[in-house]
Structure 1
Amino acid sequence: MSSAPSGLAGYDITLGLENDSVATITNATIAEEFGLSLVNISEDNTSMTVRLRGLDFDENIEEGATNISLADVEIEGMATGETALEIQDVTRVDDDSGDSLDLDTTDSGQITVEEAETPTLTIGDATVEEGSTTNADVSMSSAPNGLAGYDITFGLENDSVATITNATIPDEFSYSSVNISEDNTTMTVRLRALDLQENIEEGATNISLADVEVEGVSAGETALEVQDITRVDDDSGDPIDVNTDSGQITVEAADGPGDGNATPNLGIRLDREHVTAGDETAASVVLSEAPEGVAGFNMTLGVDGEEVTIVATSVGDSFDLAVTDTDADAAMIRGLDFNQNVQAGAENVTLATAYVRGAEGADGTAEISITDVNVLESDEAETINATTSNATLEVHNVEPIAYNQLPIDADADGLYEDIDGNGEVNRNDAQIFFREFNSDAIQGYDEYDFNQDGKLSYSDIIALRNYM
């Protein structure tokens, strides 16, 4: 009600729908300001109505009140279309003096019922190499009335490209069954699941139903599709009509070791991509493949940026003769493989390793690169033409929080989960994080934003606990 110049003692109003075939009235709640309330829903041969009565015993709605909430009327859509929800009768609306209020009741509400979206059962695309396995996820876009369970059979369009090897059903389903079978024409997997605990509630979206494991057989493409839907039921036991969207399984040819088809890459691989100031990590020079082995090499590594210095170098274990010359920002490294330890077809060959340290007070990034390759020769005395790739190391200037130990980035993700720096992430780290949360050693450091929401809050303590 727009206003109550003399307060509002109570009301007795009947509302009705213009067209009950489009929607029905299922419930109503009277605003809590009214100490006494009654709701009566009735239906005759022509229409459905709801009678609403409310009394304001405590005079919560005072003289001059505006925009007064009287009730919420719950509507259920029945069929696509529109209908008016209108005031059919005003028995009384009294102010605090007991006088009847004269109301303008011409402002009806328009109820629009849209066509319900049909849930879609989607199989995700997946790519896998020959001889390897991968998972294709199966999900349902929505469950307007919950999901009690399902019984669905999936199959591959072309079993010569890939095969189904396994399937897993999420823990939300208390009971599950997986049956893989193969007849003369196709391989299928039948998945059955029941949500006995009603974990998948009314209105749930993006519901994971299963992961189907497929193995690549030969290079090509095949569809993973729904072959049969025995049933998909909601929490009321009614069947859910679903659309289906097949997934595309792409199988790529596996690269044989040393097949020489790909151009070798000479790259930098970091043990950790993040270090604290004063902390060290290893930067290894790795040759992706050596079709004709490696006889020897002569190269220079460099560091671009003052955040990192080179403190030591070594040559890979496969090389019998090594010479290194190390400065803070560059290292010359040579190695010879007299005994042909690196044989033809070898992959991921570590030629050398530089040990780099975050500079004191540094807070930034440094590029570690192969600045010069004088010699990179195969066992056939041929030059190995390789591309090169660099690596970026981030240095964080964090401070000790407890026991005068620097925190440690436990998994090289830029977040310092090991708060006390003892090499383990456990309950003690969460306790220290909580105790010292407001300290200068924590506040202002993104390295402790464990839930990655752009700010430091107690939610980060919970995120650290969940990480353990």
Structure 2
Amino acid sequence: MVALVALAGVVVAGSALAETTAPDSGQSATLDSYTDPGTASLTINETSRTVADTELAPGGSTTVEVVVTTKDSLGSAELFEIEEQFSPAFGDVELQNMDPGGSAGPGPNNEEFLAIWSTTNETYTLTYEVTLPADAEPGDTFTIDGTVTTGDTSEQLPSATITASGDIPDETSVRLEPSSDSAEPGDQTTFDVVVEGAGNGIGAYDMTVTSSDANVGEIVDYSLANDAATDNSQIAADGSSVDLDADLSNTHEAAATVTVATITVEAGEEGTSDFAFDSTGVDDTGGTSYTIDSTEGSTLTVSEEPDPSETVSLSLQPADSAVQPGAQQTYELVVEGPANGIGSYDATITVGDTTVAEITDARAFQTSVGLFDTTIAADGSSVQFSGLVQFDAASQLTLAEIDVAAADTTGETSLDLSVADIADSNASSYRVESATGATLTVSEDAGPPPLPDQDNAPQDLDGDGLYEDVNGDDQFSIADVQIFFQNRDSDAVQNNPEAFNFDETDPPAVTIGDVQALFIAFTQSS
């Protein structure tokens, strides 16, 4: 467990781990000096967080300071940790200072930060500088949450929020998003009505959107983003236009961009239809009309030939894995390219040789209650996922997880993937470009088994013989350091010292020094 913190001080360049020096002692704190077991006795007393500036321009930076006071002292095998979580991620995070000295560094993509001390102190101070993404928009908020942990005790740190500042555009404009779309005959698609430059909020609007060819793109429905006290909106009988006329009971707050409504269009015959604003009227929350400086419509192309965005590829991940006899491997069913979300699918995973491995469990995500089935064969040879789900558009999605248990003998088996159908959120089937299965090898030389409470076996991601991916999720993250620290005395670790000899002692032996070495390796890789 850990927490974020940042404070003014000398910036340590880069995002790699930095080992700092305690101001009073002049000596660098290290973890590998603690090798004997002991009883944790340090008690958390008070915690505080200070953010120098809670409003920043996009690309701007500020310092955050976390201070934790304690009493008593660390046990001989105890560490003091602060972990910080950022939502969403910052553009950059840099350590500035630690008092006393310790080791600290940011996680992947600047979404988290971990600091570790092995020395006893009455007060622990961590200072960080955070930078907003350059593309942050005025009004965007960034939340900082943290946890401080010593031994078996954890406490939440005070939360903080940083808001992106900046001027809302002086000019007010209205547009449709996306600016273009494509569909097959009979499909439906949607366009958002977006107001830019609503500096005084939005209390009412009256605007008309027209289709240049309702035979190609017919307007069939609309929805308002906020509740209306009076809604006089209506769609033309032939679907050629919609008049969005609403006096809102739930007004929109001032913002750079506001989505006020969504219109639904049904694709008809092949061709192109332009959607444009015939009239626009937008009032602020005080009833004063904005001057609309510009409008921007959209174009719908209807064709029998599916757009490249309407093809998807499915696969099992990891594609190749090796485990020891009796161990378990978890696979993810992943789809790439679902530009219109996922509304349903029917897919089956089959084990090629059940004498090598069997499917023991499976979990489908974001399923519709009562409208989805997960069926595992009695002999563990296959699992079928079939039914309705609710996934938004994304470049990649994880649809399900499959647990596969290796037999007590060695061997190799395939896991074959077949897809009967997969459809988007509008019930239009995607064209499946590829469906790629996986291979599981069961070998005595496969490496250590899963650590306690972990589904997957650790993995050696770079072929150096060390299993940095402790939780077996195909990536080296701060979670691997934490799980390794918590389970360093388990049989899975102690019986496989060569796999976890991160501090390269000879002969190999797993100690707290290996936790320190793994943490340093993580921060240097981030």
| TM-score bin, normalised by smaller chain | 0.3 to 0.5
Q: Which has the higher contact order (CA 8 A, sep 6+)?
A: 2
TM-score by length of 2: 0.35
Which structure has the larger Rg? 1
TM-score by length of 1: 0.38
